[in-house]
């Protein structure tokens, strides 16, 4: 077993399932391995309980020998002190340590220094190899990805043939003569109108390919795996909603929507062709460092300082957004829980009390009392019904908001790695400029580093612009839906109260 590491909890986490442990903010934990399992780490809390907790809730502390114990020595320590970003998992599933060693010790060679931290996102993504001019490959016209200058700066070239894709009718299928069961979803893309059936494992496979292929694009996370209870109706409908949100983010991304592997996923409905396409995607050479070769960017160079300040501004924005999304999600879930359990119970208590009053009044047998008794009993029933309305309501308005927040939490955990790649590129430019001044590097080589840094910066800024565009559109739609549903809900409550009020007219 690897040596245990120390970690500090950045947030409170309340365990809800068997195998998880609760942690408190600032609590010290022992972590058994820094390899996370689908976003979870295993360790022991200060009370000696052993189990799983979310990797994103803790900060791994490093000894002085490993480049920046928590506070980060090294060239620049990228995500210290930025809330839940400390353990940011790259596509390889390895936690990036967040500190990059400035390997540019004065060498007499004419190259920019290599990064000694091989788990750095900058290295893993292929960003470093590309910046150093080591990426080579033949880019077909169809593989070119264009960044253009829009009114707000760099943006991805729009998809000239936009499409959408519906997901419905999750059905239970079996294979091996009924020994193995699985759920299959029916997908119908609008541009082919032809149905394909996909399982969760196909979505999972596609997600893995996309994360590897696009180092500076935020690939939306698919809903989490669940081993037990995965055929229960609630779970299936929740996963379906999650997959629909995911699909809408995929089809609206100008680059992801058009890439070959996604199109294969949406259109292939022949088993043999599916396997061939799958193998082809797995052998794709235009991934990692070579992905950057496929980028076609505007000829005008970027102002490095402006790029740096825009990226820093976005980094601060994502940190604040992450905190507020976390807070809103927690509050909304709590509010929904109160409605389903607490409000329903309270309204029905009031209803019962009104009915008890009407039963007491019924003991007076005189006819002029009857109308009042009935009206009060009806009021009791109205309060019962309002309790039911409260219990049903979160499905209509709060749940969709929480689902959307969940999707955005996924995006927000992607951006530290994307920013890390861009920061790594900027560091190499500064390093090469220094080498030129010291006579250790030719100017044309430094210009090459600078051009390649621009390529990475153009793509990063285009991705940031896309994120903001889709965020505004998503949150506008969701907030409108939320408020309309709330208004509709209170109209139903008002209607119940008005019906009860009318019962007193004839008394």
Q: For the domain that residue 235 is a member of, what is the CATH number?
A: 3.30.1520.10
Tally of domains within the chain = 3
The rounded Cα 205 to chain-centroid distance in angstroms is 17
Q: Which of left, alpha, beta for 218 (phi over 0: left; psi -120 to 50: alpha)?
A: beta
The CB density around residue 319, as the number of other CB atoms within 10 Å, is 19
| CA angle 105–289–295, rounded 5-degree value | 120
pLDDT at 97: 31
Beta strand segments in 35-87, E: 40-44, 50-54, 58-61, 76-77
Mean pLDDT of 466-484: 98
Give the pLDDT band (50/70/90) at residue 177: low
Q: Are residues 192 and 261 in the same domain?
A: yes
Cα 16 to the chain's mean position, in Å? 21
**Are residues 302 and 280 part of one domain?**
no
User: Which domain does 495 fall in, by range?
Assistant: 298-507
DSSP 334-377: HHHHIIIIIIHHHHHHHHHHHHHHHHHHTTS--GGGHHHHHHHH
Q: In this structure, are 208 and 179 located in the same domain? A: yes
DSSP states of 302-339: P-HHHHHHHHHHHHHHHHHHHHHHHHHHHHHHHHHHII
Q: Are 72 and 182 contained in the same domain? A: no
pLDDT at res. 63: 61
| CB 220 within 8 Å of CB 246 | yes
Maximum alpha-carbon separation in the chain = 110
Higher pLDDT, 248 or 119: 248
Model confidence at 95: pLDDT above 50: no
Are both 33 and 92 inside the same structural domain? yes
Q: How many helices (H) and strands (E) does the chain have?
A: 12, 15
**End-of-domain residue from the set 248, 264, 285:** 285
Domain assignment present for residue 112? The answer is no
DSSP of 365-413, one letter per residue?
A: --GGGHHHHHHHHHHHHHHHHHHHHHHHHHHHTHHHHHHHHHHHHHHHH
- The pLDDT assigned to 113 comes to 65
Domain membership flag for residue 119: no
pLDDT > 80? residue 132:
yes
Task: Share the mean pLDDT of the chain.
Answer: 84
Q: Contact, 196 vs 187, CB < 8 A?
A: yes
CATH code at position 406? 1.20.1270.60
For residue 237, being part of any structural domain is answered with: yes
Q: Flag whether 318 is in a domain.
A: yes
Residue 111 lies inside a defined structural domain of this protein: no
Domain harbouring 30, CATH code: 2.30.30.40
Residue 103's pLDDT band, with cuts at 50, 70 and 90, is very low
Q: Are 403 and 503 part of one and the same domain?
A: yes
Q: What's the pLDDT at 74?
A: 31
Distance CA 90, CA 419 (A): 12
Find out whether 317 and 472 touch, Cβ atoms under 8 Å. Answer: no
Bridge-based pairing state of the strands 295-296 and 145-150: parallel
Q: How much is the average pLDDT of 372-392?
A: 96
Tell me the average pLDDT across 268-292. 91
pLDDT of residue 238: 82
Which has the minimum average pLDDT: 59-63, 185-189, 280-284?
A: 59-63
Q: Are residues 311 and 280 in the same domain?
A: no
For tokens 């239970």, the residue is 172
Identify the burial level of 279 via C-beta atoms within 10 angstroms of its C-beta, where 0-12 means exposed, 13-18 middle and 19 or more buried.
exposed
Give the integer Cα–Cα distance in Å for 338 and 343. 6
Confidence of residue 249 (pLDDT cuts 50, 70, 90): very high
Co-location of 152 and 249 in the same domain = yes
Confidence of residue 265 (pLDDT cuts 50, 70, 90): very high
Confidence grade of residue 117 (pLDDT, cut at 50, 70, 90): low
Percent share of the chain, pLDDT over 90: 62
User: Do 345 and 449 lie in a common domain?
Assistant: yes
Whether the pLDDT of residue 83 is over 70: the answer is no
Q: Quick one: DSSP state of residue 158?
A: P
What is each CA distance from 348 to 379, 380, 390, 489, in whole angstroms? 11, 8, 11, 17
Structure token digits, residue 238:
């929740």
Q: What is the pLDDT of residue 137?
A: 79
Q: What angle do CA 443, 448, 453 make, to 5 degrees?
A: 125
The percent of residues above 70 in pLDDT, for the chain, comes to: 85
* pLDDT computed for residue 16 by the predictor: 76
Bridge partners (DSSP) listed for residue 476: none
pLDDT band with cut points at 50, 70 and 90 for residue 101: very low
User: pLDDT tens for residues 310-364?
Assistant: 999 999 999 999 999 999 999 999 999 999 999 999 999 999 999 999 999 999 8
**How distant, in Å, are the alpha carbons of 53, 201, 274 from that of 226?**
16, 12, 25
Last residue of a domain, one of 259, 285, 311: 285
Q: How many whole angstroms separate alpha carbon 69 and alpha carbon 63?
A: 5
Residues 170 and 306 in one domain: no
In a domain, residue 124? The reply is no
The tens digit of pLDDT for each residue in 396-428 reads 999 999 999 999 999 999 999 999 999 999 999
Q: What is the pLDDT of residues 426-471, one digit of tens each?
A: 999 999 999 999 998 899 999 999 999 999 999 999 999 999 999 9
CA angle 464-467-470, nearest 5°?
150
In this predicted structure, what is the pLDDT of residue 158? Answer: 95
194: in domain: yes
Residues in the chain: 507
Asked if 96 and 118 touch (Cβ cutoff 8 Å), the reply is: no
Q: Residues 34, 410, 218, CA angle at the centre, nearest 5°?
A: 100
Average pLDDT (473-489) is 97
| 460 in a structural domain | yes
Give kind and range of the element (H or E) at residue 276.
helix 271-282
For residues 205 and 212, give the distance between their C-alpha atoms in angstroms, rounded to a whole number. Answer: 11
Whether residue 270 is found in the same domain as residue 310? no
pLDDT at 219 over 80: yes
Whether residue 392 sits in one domain with residue 425: yes
Q: What is the pLDDT of residue 176?
A: 53
């Amino acid at each position: 077993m690897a040596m245990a590491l120390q970690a500090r909890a950045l947030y409170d986490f309340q365990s809800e399932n068997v195998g998880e442990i609760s942690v408190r903010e600032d609590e010290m934990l022992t972590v058994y391995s820094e390899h996370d399992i689908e976003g979870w780490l295993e360790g022991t809390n200060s009370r000696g309980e052993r189990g799983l907790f979310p990797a994103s809730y803790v900060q791994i502390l490093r000894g002085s020998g490993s480049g920046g114990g928590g506070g980060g020595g090294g060239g620049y320590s990228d995500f210290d002190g930025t809330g839940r970003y400390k353990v940011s998992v790259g596509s390889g599933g390895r936690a990036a340590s967040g500190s990059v060693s400035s390997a540019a010790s004065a060498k007499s060679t004419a190259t920019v220094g290599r990064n000694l931290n091989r788990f750095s996102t900058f290295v893993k993504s292929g960003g470093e190899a590309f910046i150093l001019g080591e990426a080579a490959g033949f880019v077909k016209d169809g593989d070119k990805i264009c960044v253009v200058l829009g009114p707000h700066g760099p943006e991805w070239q729009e998809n000239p043939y936009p499409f959408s894709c519906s997901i419905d009718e999750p059905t239970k299928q079996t294979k091996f003569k009924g020994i193995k069961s699985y759920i299959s979803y029916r997908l119908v893309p609008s541009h082919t109108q032809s149905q394909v059936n996909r399982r969760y494992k196909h979505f999972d496979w596609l997600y893995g390919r996309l994360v590897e292929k696009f180092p500076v694009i935020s690939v939306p996370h698919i809903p989490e795996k669940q081993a037990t209870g995965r055929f229960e109706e609630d779970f299936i409908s929740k996963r379906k909603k999650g997959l629909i949100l995911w699909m809408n983010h995929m089809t609206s991304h100008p680059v992801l929507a058009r890439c070959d592997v996604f199109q294969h996923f949406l259109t292939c409905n022949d088993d043999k062709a599916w396997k061939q396409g799958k193998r082809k995607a797995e052998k794709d050479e235009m991934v990692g460092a070579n992905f950057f070769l496929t980028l076609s960017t505007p000829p005008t160079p970027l102002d490095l300082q402006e790029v740096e300040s825009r990226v820093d501004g976005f980094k601060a924005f994502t940190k604040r957004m992450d905190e507020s999304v976390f807070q809103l999600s927690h509050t909304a879930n709590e509010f929904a829980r109160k409605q389903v359990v607490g409000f329903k119970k309270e309204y029905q208590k009031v209803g019962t009390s009104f009915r008890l009053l009407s039963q007491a009044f019924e003991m007076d047998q005189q006819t002029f009392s009857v109308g009042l008794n009935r009206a009060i009993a009806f009021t009791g029933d109205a309060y019962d019904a309002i309790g039911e309305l409260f219990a049903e309501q979160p499905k209509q308005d709060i749940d969709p908001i929480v689902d959307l927040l969940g999707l955005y939490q996924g995006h927000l955990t992607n951006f530290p790695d994307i920013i890390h790649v861009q920061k790594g590129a900027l560091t190499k430019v500064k390093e090469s400029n220094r080498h030129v001044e010291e006579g250790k590097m030719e100017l044309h080589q430094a210009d090459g580093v600078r051009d390649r840094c621009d390529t990475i910066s153009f793509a990063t800024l285009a991705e940031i612009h896309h994120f903001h565009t889709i965020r505004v559109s998503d949150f506008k739609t969701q907030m409108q839906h939320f408020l309309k549903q709330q208004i509709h809900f209170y109209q139903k409550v008002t209607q119940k109260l008005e019906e009860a009020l009318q019962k007193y007219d004839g008394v």
